[in-house]
């Protein structure tokens, strides 16, 4: 390739826009391109990747949406450098582009929630517990329409109490996709408020008494039930 750049390969071998986007992200993350440097022309990228120019153009639009590049009309595409919230947005984009299927997403969410619950029980201070108590009460009195948002707020409060910004941002990305995407449309059908609220009480109580093992176990039980209900609801939508 011109400019001496080597685009890392894609294990999946696909040549759709999502795959090309991932390849270009790996190129930008490899250190071969400096902030402010112009990327090769669309034609050059298309030839190197073995795809057509519209596919490259769509991938570049995705990179621009992420804030990684700037497309300057008549000049070319320039790398802007990584931004502070790049991890969250790359994670979210990977989910949007279908890199992870629904079952994989739910499995990842479950393991992450269990880990964060244990960390929250270890790290939470009195203010964190007070916030969680308030969020739990909001769930208890919530309407069916407002319950999904109250549920998300409770879980994100646990993530904040865990004092790990990377895990918190990963959960935030997952929860954002799930709340506003396919899961958000099934939550009300998947569980009654009574069942969902009662699932959260032992999680809160374990964190309140600073018991990591109990917090992990309570969250694990909640995730098993929640995942099963969501998958059943999703399968019902496709019947």
The answer to whether 2-83 and 101-238 have equal CATH topology is: no
For 35: left if phi > 0, alpha if psi spans -120 to 50, otherwise beta; the answer is beta
pLDDT tens string 50-105:
999 999 999 999 888 778 899 998 899 999 887 655 555 555 555 444 444 567 77
Note whether 102 and 238 are within 8 A (CB).
no
Note whether 196 and 155 are within 8 A (CB).
no
pLDDT tens string 142-187:
888 788 889 889 999 999 999 999 899 888 877 766 655 444 444 4
> Can you give the pTM of this predicted structure?
0.60
Q: Class of the 101-238 domain?
A: mainly alpha
pLDDT tens string 12-58:
455 678 788 888 988 887 888 899 999 999 999 999 999 999 999 99
* Domain ranges across the chain: 2-83, 101-238
Q: Rounded to the nearest 5°, which phi and psi values hold at 209?
A: -95, 10
Report pLDDT for 146. 84
Q: Half-sphere exposure of residue 235, counting CA atoms within 13 Å on the CB side?
A: 7
CATH topology of domain 2-83: Arc Repressor Mutant, subunit A (1.10.10)
């Amino acid at each position: 390739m011109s400019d001496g750049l080597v685009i890392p390969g894609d294990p999946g071998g696909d040549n759709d826009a999502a795959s090309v986007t991932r390849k270009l992200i790996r190129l930008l993350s490899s250190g071969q391109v400096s902030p402010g440097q112009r990327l090769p022309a669309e034609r050059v990228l298309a030839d190197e990747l073995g795809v057509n120019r519209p596919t490259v153009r769509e991938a570049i639009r995705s990179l621009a949406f992420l804030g990684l590049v700037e497309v300057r009309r008549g000049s070319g595409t320039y790398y802007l450098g990584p931004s502070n919230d790049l991890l969250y947005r790359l994670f979210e984009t990977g989910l949007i582009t279908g890199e992870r299927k629904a079952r994989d997403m739910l499995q990842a969410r479950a393991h992450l929630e269990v880990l964060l619950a244990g960390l929250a029980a270890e790290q939470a201070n009195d203010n964190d517990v007070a916030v969680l108590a308030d969020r739990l009460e909001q769930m208890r009195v919530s309407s069916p329409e407002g319950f999904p948002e109250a549920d998300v707020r409770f879980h994100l409060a646990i993530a904040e109490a865990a004092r790990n910004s990377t895990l918190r941002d990963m959960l935030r990305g997952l929860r954002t996709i799930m709340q506003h995407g396919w899961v958000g449309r099934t939550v009300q059908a998947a569980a009654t408020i009574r069942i969902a609220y009662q699932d959260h009480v032992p999680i809160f109580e374990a964190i309140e008494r600073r018991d990591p093992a109990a917090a992990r176990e309570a969250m694990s039980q909640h995730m098993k039930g929640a995942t099963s209900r969501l998958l059943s609801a999703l399968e019902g939508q496709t019947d």
